[in-house]
Amino acid sequence: MTVVLPTPAQLRSVADQCGLSLTDDDVASFRGLMQGSIEAYNLVGAMPDEVPEVKYPRTPGYRPSPEENPRNAWYRKSTVKGAASGKLKGKTVALKDNIMLAGVPMMNGSATLEGYVPDFDATIVTRMLDAGAEIAGKVHCESFCMSGGSHTNAVGAVHNPHKMGYSAGGSSSGSGVVVALGEVDMAIGGDQGGSIRMPSSFCGTYGMKPTWGLVPYTGIMPIEVFVDHTGPMTATVADNALLLEVLAGDDGYDPRIKAPKVEEYTKALGQGVKGMRIGILKEGFEQATAEAAVNESVREAAKRFKDLGATVENVSIPMHLMGPAIWTPIGTEGMTQTMMYGDGYGLSRSDLYSTTLMDFHRGWRRQADSLSETTKLFLLLGTYINNTFGPRYYGKALNISRRLTAAYDKAFKDYDLLLLPTTPMKATKLPEPTASREDYVARALEMISNTAPFDITHHPAMSLPCGMVDGLPVGLMLVGRMFEESTIYRAAHAFEQIGDWKKM
Ligand SMILES: NC(=O)c1ccccc1
């Protein structure tokens, strides 16, 4: 790849794009003035990149057959053995397929990325391997992570672990399935609008979206830096706390939090909830798509926290219902500018860029018709808004997100945790391939209203299973103060000890 001087015709067309009118002399002169910088580009091009070393051997693995993969949860199985000892010794882990595992293909749910092979490991991959974990492979996620339903991956829907034909939730769909089925001990998910917590709700797993910046996002395909989160999805609270302990903390790349407050989360286990104050968030039960049976199951679970010794009261935060609206410009334009037009990264970040991903992902422009209908919708809207208004709504929404954060923080003066349904409904039927675009999009986005607000306020939030309705799990969400994951684990663990949520 060499950079060459633009031809006079190329320079004219660029000038048009910039609104500049150039004479022939101007064109010749600007071309001459570019020569030195073009040489600089080629010097950079010739230098080796600066990316982390791959520490543990692995093979590209294989794509399991439908018989081995009946729910379409797996993309590639490939075993990577970590250190001989450590906190995760004996634990197997699956990675959401937007996380870079060097040498093993990654497609992030999109046909446009098929064939891409990352060349370095995400920070959290190295951390888990250093802690003795064994990585079992990559699990499917939704098309560029842009869906809360599990029907948007280019190679087919992911099915719910409890009921074939039902949604596993998204966008970390495969992660929820393989944990719920016990095929691995742990999985990693990603969350920009709820994508760790929504599949946890639909699959009946424990999914923690940690405080923004607590876990390095380095080496994970971004959507938008302000909402990018990654975190643990597990079958038990203890495993979740243990995994977060390994994942958390500054890595020297991710600049978002200068000094993340890291704790030994496993110390929260067994502490009980006596004296804890829990606020039942009224508006969390008032979403347009709320299912009465889900609300009831979550309210019943709230009573159990009272039985366990916590103070449990109702609290109203009317602005919670504005959260999805405030999320919309940030999610939409972030996705459009950073992930799509920015070749995955955009500019002005100071973390680690994957140039191999940037090069490969650029190709989406040649195959845009193969994007999922949800990805197309976000891309069309984000492009229209940017063409018409520029990023001013993004900026205003980001400013207003601080008012939303303050509204929750006011409640956190009186309560240690907020409690609400993770998703207003339990898993829905997967749309048929012949479903209308309207149904396809509804099944992808109707469940994000309670989760998305905390992606822009950055509070830690965890989904825990609290009961079953019609053979499908119900998810309860606990939200804590910034960096108070330990408080969430304390409560979640106490609740888990009551007994089998499948019988509640
Ligand atoms: N990645 C996400 O959390 C997400 C979920 C739903 C819609 C858009 C994004």
Beta bridge partners of 480: 417
Choice among 110, 147, 173, 195 that is catalytic? 195
∠ CA 54-260-146, nearest 5°, is 65
CA-to-CA dists, residue 410 to 24, 100, 187, 255, 424, angstroms: 63, 38, 33, 27, 24
Closest CA relative to residue 114, chosen from 344, 367, 375 = 367
Q: What are the tens digits of pLDDT across the range 126-152?
A: 999 999 999 999 999 999 999 999 999
Alpha-helical (H) ranges within 111-161 are: 123-130
CB 45 within 8 A of CB 20: no
∠ CA 50-172-484, nearest 5°, is 80
Beta bridge partners of 479: 418, 461
Q: Report the separation in Å between the CA atom of 147 and the middle of ligand 1, taken as the mean of its atom positions.
A: 5
Token code pair at residue 221: 């395909």
CB 249 within 8 A of CB 260: yes
Q: Report the separation in Å between the CA atom of 372 and the middle of ligand 1, taken as the mean of its atom positions.
A: 13
Q: Report the separation in Å between the CA atom of 127 and the middle of ligand 1, taken as the mean of its atom positions.
A: 25
The full set of domain ranges for the chain reads: 8-46, 66-503
Please give the chain's pLDDT, 504 residues, in tens.
Answer: 899 999 999 999 999 999 999 999 999 999 999 999 999 999 999 999 999 999 999 999 999 999 999 999 999 999 999 999 999 999 999 999 999 999 999 999 999 999 999 999 999 999 999 999 999 999 999 999 999 999 999 999 999 999 999 999 999 999 999 999 999 999 999 999 999 999 999 999 999 999 999 999 999 999 999 999 999 999 999 999 999 999 999 999 999 987 889 999 999 999 999 999 999 999 999 999 999 999 999 999 999 999 999 999 999 999 999 999 999 999 999 999 999 999 999 999 999 999 999 999 999 999 999 999 999 999 999 999 999 999 999 999 999 999 999 999 999 999 999 999 999 999 999 999 999 999 999 999 999 999 999 999 999 999 999 999 999 999 999 999 999 999 999 999 999 999 999 999
Q: Report the separation in Å between the CA atom of 461 and the middle of ligand 1, taken as the mean of its atom positions.
A: 15
Active site residue 195: yes
Q: How far apart are CA 140 and CA 457, in angstroms?
A: 27
Q: Report the separation in Å between the CA atom of 194 and the middle of ligand 1, taken as the mean of its atom positions.
A: 6
Choice among 143, 147, 150, 171 that is catalytic? 171
Choice among 91, 96, 138, 426 that is catalytic? 96
Question: To test the ligand 1 pocket, which listed residue (143, 145, 441) has its Cβ within 8 A of the most ligand atoms?
Answer: 145
Token code pair at residue 25: 């002399």
Q: Which residues contact 209 (CB under 8 A, 6 or more apart)?
A: 191, 194, 196, 197, 229, 231, 451, 454, 455, 460, 461, 462
| Ligand 1: residue whose CA is nearest its atom 9 | 146
CB 298 within 8 A of CB 285: yes
ω into 171 cis (within 30 of 0): yes
Around ligand 1, the residues with Cβ closer than 6 Å are 145-148, 171, 191-195, 331, 445, 448
Name the residue type at position 251. Answer: D
Residue with tokens 């798509």: 289
Active site residue 171: yes
Percent of the chain residues past pLDDT 70, beyond the cut: 100
Q: Which atom of ligand 1 is nearest to the CA of 192?
A: 3
Active site residue 274: no
DSSP H or E segment with residue 302: helix 292-307
Q: Which residues contact 314 (CB under 8 A, 6 or more apart)?
A: 279, 280, 282
Q: Which atom of ligand 1 is nearest to the CA of 452?
A: 3
| Superfamily classification of domain 66-503 | Amidase signature (AS) domain (3.90.1300.10)
Question: To test the ligand 1 pocket, which listed residue (108, 110, 192, 217) has its Cβ within 8 A of the most ligand atoms?
Answer: 192
Rounding to the nearest 10 degrees, give the CA dihedral for residues 113, 114, 117, 120.
40
Give pTM, 2 decimals. Answer: 0.98
Q: Report the separation in Å between the CA atom of 388 and the middle of ligand 1, taken as the mean of its atom positions.
A: 24
| Ligand 1: residue whose CA is nearest its atom 8 | 146
Q: Which atom of ligand 1 is nearest to the CA of 378?
A: 8
Token code pair at residue 189: 């998910």
Q: What are the tens digits of pLDDT across the range 392-422?
A: 999 999 999 999 999 999 999 999 999 999 9
Going by the DSSP 8-state scheme, the letter that residue 101 receives in this structure is -
DSSP H or E segment with residue 186: strand 186-191
Q: Report the separation in Å between the CA atom of 315 and the middle of ligand 1, taken as the mean of its atom positions.
A: 27
Q: Which atom of ligand 1 is nearest to the CA of 148?
A: 6
Token code pair at residue 72: 């379409």
- pLDDT computed for residue 257 by the predictor: 81
CB 424 within 8 A of CB 447: yes
Token code pair at residue 365: 């422009």
| Ligand 1: residue whose CA is nearest its atom 4 | 193
